[in-house]
Amino acid sequence: MIRSMTGYGRMDEVKGSTRLTVEIRAVNHRFSEILVRLPKAWSMLEDPVRKLVSQFVRRGRLEVTISMETIQVTSAASINWAVAEQFVSLTREIDQRFSLETVLTARDVLLFPGVLHTKEIEEANGDEIVEWLLSQVEEAAQDLLTMKMAEGKQLYADLMRRLSQVSAWIGEIQQLAPLSVEEYHSRLHQRLSDWASQAPFELDMGRVAQEVAFFADKSDISEEITRLKSHCHQFVEQLEKEEAVGRKLDFLLQEMNREANTIASKANHLRIQHLAVEIKSELEKMKEQVQNVE
């Protein structure tokens, strides 16, 4: 199934005092190009990141931006509720025994020994950060791929719908092609008959037959129709492949447009010429869509 060249993927995660953000933007491009932007301290990972991302794309220009931000959270705090309850209970007993009125605040309770526990968050070492970074890049690339495949389904549906219309017009042209020769023969015979009725000599029907045969040969579009139908079949085959087919689809559309041009110029038939123009117009719309296919 075809995939779109455009898309966006992002992953954002915090570990310890570090926030890691990975963004991947994909746009149209004739070939495959992956640009990687990393913090200077981790620039040595540019090639591994590029190789990892390349597994998820076939064609297009990608910008991979990776940023690391140090945040203020360096420790984790927890409350020992059992100890806190003991201290509060003891305080109330003392108040009753000595007729005191002690007002406790949350701050007072937190200052009792053993109530508040803090634990320093261990900073990850270099190898752990590399593993973390590459895993985040892979997840962002997968996020990008999901979007590209979703857009690819829409492109596939649109291209198939337009191709179906083109095929219908080709079928109509194929039916009209023999009629164009018959109509030409009828018009030519009528004009010559009208002219011969006023001329002092007899009409040479053999010469008329030669003229009709010459026209039939000159205006024969059977080969163009056959090639158009073949290109349509190849177009569908390419749409179903699990590989980069955007450039092949573009080439096929160019060839189809060439055949439509030839049909329009050879066929001396108004309806056929009109259908050829309609085909060219639809092929142009398909070409715009194919520019977004990997």
Return the HEC string of the chain.
CCCECCEEEEEEEEECCEEEEEEEEEECCCCEEEEEECCHHHHHHHHHHHHHHHCCCCCEEEEEEEEEEECCCCEEEEECHHHHHHHHHHHHHHHHHHCCCCCCCHHHHHHCCCCEEEEECCCCCHHHHHHHHHHHHHHHHHHHHHHHHHHHHHHHHHHHHHHHHHHHHHHHHHHHHHHHHHHHHHHHHHHHHHHHCCCCCCCCHHHHHHHHHHHHHHCCCHHHHHHHHHHHHHHHHHHCCCCCCHHHHHHHHHHHHHHHHHHHHHCCCHHHHHHHHHHHHHHHHHHHHHCCEC
CA dist., res. 17 & res. 291, Å (int)? 43
10-15: long-range contacts, CB 8 A cutoff, minimum separation 24: 10/140, 10/143, 11/136, 11/137, 11/139, 11/140, 11/143, 13/132, 13/136, 14/71, 14/73, 15/124, 15/132
Taking 60 as the threshold, does the pLDDT of residue 216 lie above it? no
Q: Which residues contact 248 (CB under 8 A, 6 or more apart)?
A: 238
Query: 226-269 pLDDT, tens per residue?
Result: 999 999 999 999 999 988 999 999 999 999 999 999 998 887 78
Mean pLDDT of the chain: 86
Q: Tell me how long the chain is.
A: 294
> What six digits make up the tokens of 279?
């085909």
- pLDDT tens digits for range 180-203: 666 666 666 666 566 556 655 565
Question: Residues spanned by CATH 3.30.230 within the chain?
Answer: 7-72+123-149
pTM of the model: 0.70
N-term to C-term CA, the chain: 10
CATH classification code of 7-72+123-149: 3.30.230
CA distance 166 to 153: 20
pLDDT score at 198: 65
More confident residue, 207 or 277: 277
Q: So what's the pLDDT on residue 213?
A: 59
Sequence-separated (6 or more) residues with CB below 8 Å from residue 193: 203
pLDDT at 97: 84
- The pLDDT of residue 115 is 82
Q: What is the pLDDT of residue 231?
A: 97
Of 208, 176, 246, 260, the residue nearest 26 (C-alpha)? 246
